[in-house]
Amino acid sequence: MSSTDRGRTLQVTVVGNPGLDTLVLLAEDAPDLRADGHFVRNVDAVGHAATFSALALARLGHRVRVLGSVGDDPAGAMVTAALRSEGIDTSLLFRDPAGTARSVNLVFPDGRRTFFYDGGSHMTLTPPAGAVGASLDGADLVVTTLANWARHVLPRARAAGIPVAVDLQDVRWVEDPYRADFVAGADHLFASAAHLDDPAAAADAWLSRGPARTVVLGAGPRGALLRVRSDPAMSAQPPPAVELPVADTTGCGDSLAVGFLDGLLAQGRSPVQALHRGQVLARIVASGLGPAARYDRGSVDALAGSTRPLGS
């Protein structure tokens, strides 16, 4: 770990399967899916949680490596090349015989999206011998996705004293058994509040089930919620007042998490300030298709500094 005048530079291991998104840009809110066909614009872009997390961390100046799988196919070559072009270490990528993870995302005119995900054989894959240990060597932080095999990395990271961040994605119930290991192994938890009837109760339940110090819940156009273990009150933050279009919300949750972690762990900001920074980064990412929006630490600093979170 090194330090600069803009905070610490972290060695981060991102755990999960990078993939390829096909963005289907719809011209209407409610297309008739019974129709034989539609004329749309389709855009192929590197994506999935591991990719968005790795790209955001690298663009904010951190050293990043990815432990994950891709297929021996054109999509895998495209994803690997895109990560390498941003200075991300791809030496620990291993092969998925089912091919690179893919997703077809229907993107509505207001930027909302719904996706159809094909995760390859992530339920049965196992990283090569020695890959997990190599991925943790010298790491300051592990950011993991919900690939099934990723759950086995968490206890190794915790045993090594490395902080772990997990995004539970669009979780629908607090006691989801698939996510239980991830909740039990995370120091920082992130999730979408879209399907949670009582977000505050969900955050408290996860704090009671694991060691997490913070829980951040993305609430889309309503902003974000923050629960800190040391504070019984949940903080609600509206969306930041930034003048940017919303083209595609794919990857916004991953970017919210990375912006928060960068602010909290690398820059030493308060949790509320870090949440604001994460929200700003998510808005920047939403202004482009897939990961097309360009930014660096300086531009995020400037935009975050031009607005203020509640309670700051």
Range of the domain at 174: 8-302
Q: Is residue 121 part of a domain?
A: yes
Q: Is residue 309 part of a domain?
A: no
pLDDT of residue 29: 83
Is residue 299 within 8 Å of residue 276, measured between CB atoms? no
For 44-65, b where at least 16 C-beta lie within 10 A, e where not — what string? ebbbbbbbbbbbbbbbbbbbbb
Is residue 149 within 8 Å of residue 126, measured between CB atoms? yes
Token representation of residue 128: 């090569």
Q: Is residue 32 part of a domain?
A: yes
Number of domains in the chain: 1
Q: Is residue 311 part of a domain?
A: no
Q: Is residue 26 part of a domain?
A: yes
Is residue 122 within 8 Å of residue 147, measured between CB atoms? yes
Q: Is residue 17 part of a domain?
A: yes
Q: Is residue 1 part of a domain?
A: no
Residue 176 to residue 174: CA distance in whole angstroms:
6
pLDDT of residue 304: 87
pLDDT tens for the chain, 312 residues long, are 555 445 799 999 999 999 999 999 888 888 888 888 888 899 999 999 999 999 999 999 999 999 999 999 999 999 999 999 999 999 999 999 999 999 998 999 988 888 888 888 888 889 998 999 999 999 999 999 999 999 999 999 999 999 999 999 989 989 999 999 999 999 999 999 988 989 999 999 999 999 999 999 998 888 999 999 988 888 888 888 888 988 988 889 999 999 999 999 999 999 999 999 999 999 999 999 988 999 999 999 988 887 777 655
- Answering whether pTM is above 0.85, one says yes
pLDDT of residue 248: 87
Is residue 50 within 8 Å of residue 14, measured between CB atoms? yes
Q: What is the DSSP letter of 24?
A: E
Distance of CA 113 to the CA centre of its chain: 16
User: What is the chain's percent helix, strand, coil content, to nearest 5?
Assistant: 35, 25, 40
Residue with tokens 């990528």: 93
Residue 184 to residue 209: CA distance in whole angstroms:
6
CATH assignment of the domain containing 21: 3.40.1190.20
Residue 76 to residue 99: CA distance in whole angstroms:
8
